[in-house]
Amino acid sequence: MLDNKSILITGGTGSFGKAFTRKLLERYPNIERLVIFSRDELKQYEMAQQFDPSEYKGLRYFIGDVRDAPRLKRAMEDIDVVVHAAALKQVPAAEYNPFEAVKTNIMGAQNVIESALDTGVEKVVALSTDKAAAPINLYGATKLCSDKLFTAANNIKGKRNIGFSVVRYGNVMGSRGSVIPFFLKRRETGMLPITDPGMTRFNISLQEGVDMVLWALENADDPEAAMAEPVAGELTERSVPWE
């Protein structure tokens, strides 16, 4: 599917980006180009120690920010597939710095869309979160807006051969900033601070997140049909009633 394709990962130095890069390099050795797009030069340097461009054909590290539309557009030149993983995702940080979250998660998403439309990209998959469903905090609200932008982009693509898709999943176990490393650290104190004794969390593994994105790339061939919303109260093969 991705052999001989050029792929760009925004936020490529994060936990997902590194795991996705590893999977791509293992499964698709004939990738034309794999561009890791992120704004932190130190993280790119550290990732390059793990994935050395001299050892992997076509691997490139591209410094940039999704807030910077011209830089993003330049990075997407001759790219076939974009996986959009860049985001500000820490809930307290988003609450304290709301417009920074808006600039990255919403305006950055629109920059990805417009750059993809302008450069001939064929597929875009954006990572989202369960917190975008009936959001109760700013992070979830910004990701809901981002999701709407990506799905609506299928309505303005015109005759371009491009499809936009979104995947939503829960808390990724062991990812940077997740609760599991925090709990392990708190184990030394003998106390685990939680919101409520009856609370639950929807967790998936990092590998499950990677597999979901690959599934979306393989199956989201008809994004307009996939995003068609059923009439209220009407069940379709894409709508499932609550039990």
Does domain 6-170+204-225 fall under CATH 3.40.1010.10? My reply is: no
Instruction: Round to whole Å and give the CA distance between 213 and 188.
Output: 36
The phi and psi torsions of 40 (rounded to 5 degrees) equal: -105, 110
- pLDDT score of 7: 98
The per-residue pLDDT for range 176-186, each reduced to its tens digit, is: 656 777 777 78
**Paired tokens of 154:** 């299928």
Structure-block tokens of residue 119: 């450069």
Residues contacting 167, CB < 8 A, separation 6+: 125, 126, 127, 128, 212, 213, 216
Read off the pLDDT of residues 100-158 as tens digits, 9 standing for 90 and up. 999 999 999 999 999 999 999 999 999 999 899 999 999 999 999 999 999 999 999 99
The pLDDT, as a whole number, for residue 226 is: 44
> pLDDT at position 223, please?
45
* Alpha helices in the chain, H assignment, sequence order: 15-27, 41-50, 69-75, 91-96, 98-102, 108-119, 138-152, 179-186, 206-219, 223-226
The full set of domain ranges for the chain reads 6-170+204-225
Which of 73, 123, 131, 143 does the annotation list as catalytic? 131
**pLDDT recorded at residue 209:** 86
d(CA 125, CA 84) in angstroms, rounded, equals 6
Whether the CB-CB separation of 54 and 125 falls below 8 Å is answered with: no
Q: Taking the CA of residue 124 as centre, how many other CA atoms within 13 Å lie in the half-sphere pointing to its CB?
A: 33
More confident residue, 101 or 233: 101
Give the Cα separation of 178 and 17 in Å (integer). Answer: 15
More confident residue, 39 or 227: 39
Sheet holding 163-169, edge to edge: 59-63, 33-38, 6-10, 81-84, 123-129, 163-169
6-24 tens-digit pLDDT? 999 999 999 899 999 999 9
| pLDDT exceeds 60 at position 232 | no
Give the pLDDT score at 221.
63
Find the mean pLDDT for residues 152-167.
95
pLDDT in the model for residue 240: 35
Which residues in 63-90 are b (16+ Cβ under 10 Å) and which e?
Answer: ebbbeebebbbebbeebbbbbbbbbbbe
Q: Please give the torsion angle defined by the CA atoms of residues 195, 199, 202 and 205, in that order, rounded to the nearest 10 degrees.
A: 70
The per-residue pLDDT for range 60-107, each reduced to its tens digit, is 999 999 999 999 999 999 999 999 999 999 999 999 999 999 999 999
CB 2 within 8 A of CB 28: yes
* The pLDDT of residue 176: 61
| Structural contact between residues 82 and 8, judged by C-beta atoms closer than 8 angstroms | yes
d(CA 58, CA 32): 6
Q: Is 131 a catalytic residue?
A: yes
When pLDDT is averaged across residues 221-237 and rounded to a whole number, the result is 43
